[in-house]
């Protein structure tokens, strides 16, 4: 393996190093900027452990060591020259600013990659570097009169450059947020159904027990200033959501949870309450959903597309012949429609309200 010499552009990610002149000392841990020393920007790295650790003041003599292992593998090394130029006209210490930009984004990138599926990583790294370099390039065009001097300083040009830099970083941040959310969603969808249901139940159970504990506190006089009916309603509404979906198992578990609490602590919801009728609601809705799922999908054309009643998926879908305009997309979102890459459609759950909203959307946009 090719020897890599420790340097100030790679020492932040070095995990262990070895003396070149004294290899018999063995592999030593490297702690980047482990000590702050008196003076602005003054620090020391530590090589080794405890009392035997070598204090490496600032970045002097780093070249006397070779790197044996790294904290992480994915780097932004190729952008050091750009980063060191990027803040020449906006910072009194452009090298420090540039190194902080590299190190911070390198750590961010590797953290993003930690739990990312392997097949997603290569494209993510390439796009991250594209946005990062675009931002650094925009930074290099910025200037401050405090650095350049006030004479002949072009304020309008500087403001335009600052706006471009801000826009590039906003693009970068928004791209990253959007992609990470999409990857997390795909990971979640790929999880076993049993795992997702176990997690859903845990959330529901915690909500139920939290509200039940407050009701118990009201019953015993420990909690004051609360209305019991509000907490009963909270439990009911959460479980009713599952009843509407025909989720008999989840509703039954919720009812069993409350009955157990009633028996072991105090009665938080009486058996006369409609909460205990939700199992019947769930059974009825499950039957309706299953009957609906057996129906064949129907299609109704409109100008430039079609409405699909997808009974199997319990969704009303709008499929356009061409990508709709930004204005139309905005209206679709306001009407509760979400984009489904799987079906290539804008869709929402099949309900009476959904049908009414879609009819109004099509009419208002002269599509029918």
Output the tens digit of pLDDT for each of the chain's 368 residues. 689 999 999 999 999 999 999 999 999 999 999 988 887 778 899 999 876 678 888 888 899 999 999 999 999 999 999 999 999 999 999 999 999 999 999 999 999 999 899 999 999 999 999 999 999 999 999 999 888 887 778 889 999 999 999 999 999 999 999 999 999 988 888 899 999 999 999 999 999 999 999 999 999 999 988 999 999 999 999 999 999 999 999 999 999 999 999 999 999 999 999 999 999 999 999 998 888 878 889 999 999 999 999 988 889 999 999 999 999 999 999 999 999 988 999 999 988 899 999 999 999 999 98
Closest by CA position to 67, among listed 12, 8, 18: 18
Identify whether the C-beta of residue 47 lies closer than 8 Å to the C-beta of residue 62: no
Q: With a threshold of 0.95, does the pTM exceed it?
A: no
Closest by CA position to 289, among listed 353, 351, 337: 351
Q: What is the reported pLDDT for 20?
A: 95
DSSP secondary structure code for residue 339 in this structure? E
Closest by CA position to 277, among listed 236, 226, 323: 236
Q: What is the reported pLDDT for 294?
A: 84
Number of H helices, E strands in the chain: 11, 10
Calculate ∠ Cα 237-239-243, nearest 5°.
110
Supply 253's token pair.
Answer: 């578990």
Helix (H, G, I), strand (E, B) or coil at 57: strand
Supply 107's token pair.
Answer: 């750590």
Supply 187's token pair.
Answer: 């990971």
Distance, CA of 113 to CA of 344 (rounded, Å): 29
Q: What is the reported pLDDT for 309?
A: 93
- Residue 90 backbone dihedrals phi, psi, to 5 degrees: -130, -5
What crossing angle do the helices spanning 228-244 and 278-293 adopt, rounded to 10°?
A: 20
Sequence spans of domains, the chain = 11-70, 77-190, 193-291, 295-364
Identify whether the C-beta of residue 219 lies closer than 8 Å to the C-beta of residue 265: no
Identify whether the C-beta of residue 161 lies closer than 8 Å to the C-beta of residue 138: yes
CA atoms within 13 A on the CB side of 182: 11
Helix (H) or strand (E) holding 55: strand 54-57
Supply 228's token pair.
Answer: 């019991």
Identify whether the C-beta of residue 37 lies closer than 8 Å to the C-beta of residue 43: yes
Helix (H, G, I), strand (E, B) or coil at 349: strand
């Amino acid at each position: 393996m090719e020897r890599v010499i420790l340097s100030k552009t790679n020492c932040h990610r070095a995990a262990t190093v070895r003396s070149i002149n004294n290899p018999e000392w063995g592999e030593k841990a490297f702690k980047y900027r482990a000590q702050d020393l008196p003076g602005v920007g003054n620090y020391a790295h530590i090589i080794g452990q405890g009392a035997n650790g070598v204090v490496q003041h600032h970045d002097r003599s780093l070249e006397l060591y070779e790197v044996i292992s790294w904290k992480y593998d994915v780097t932004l090394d190729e952008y050091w020259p750009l980063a060191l130029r990027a803040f020449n006209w906006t910072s009194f210490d452009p090298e420090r600013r540039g190194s902080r930009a590299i190190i911070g984004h390198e750590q961010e990138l590797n953290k993003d990659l930690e739990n990312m599926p392997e097949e997603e990583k290569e494209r993510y790294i390439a796009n991250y570097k594209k946005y990062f370099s675009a931002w650094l390039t925009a930074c290099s065009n910025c200037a401050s009169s405090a650095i350049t001097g006030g004479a002949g300083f072009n304020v309008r040009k500087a403001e335009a450059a600052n706006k471009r830099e801000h826009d590039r970083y906003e693009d970068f941040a928004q791209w990253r947020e959007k992609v990470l959310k999409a990857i997390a969603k795909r990971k979640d969808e790929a999880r076993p159904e049993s795992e997702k249901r176990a997690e859903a139940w845990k959330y529901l159970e915690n909500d139920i027990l939290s509200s039940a504990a407050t009701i118990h506190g009201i019953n015993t006089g420990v909690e004051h200033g609360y209305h019991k009916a509000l907490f009963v309603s909270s439990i009911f509404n959460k479980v009713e959501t599952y009843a509407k979906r025909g989720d008999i198992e989840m509703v039954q578990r919720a009812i069993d949870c409350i009955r157990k609490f009633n028996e072991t602590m105090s009665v938080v919801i009486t058996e006369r309450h409609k909460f205990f009728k939700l199992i019947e609601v769930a059974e009825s809705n499950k039957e309706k959903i299953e009957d609906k799922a057996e129906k064949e999908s129907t299609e109704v054309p409109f100008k430039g597309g079609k409405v699909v009643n997808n009974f199997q998926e319990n969704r009303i879908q709008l499929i356009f012949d061409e990508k709709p305009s930004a204005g139309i997309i905005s209206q679709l979102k306001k009407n509760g429609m979400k984009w489904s890459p799987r079906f290539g459609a804008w869709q929402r759950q099949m309900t009476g309200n959904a049908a009414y909203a879609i009819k109004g959307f099509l009419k208002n946009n002269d599509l029918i």
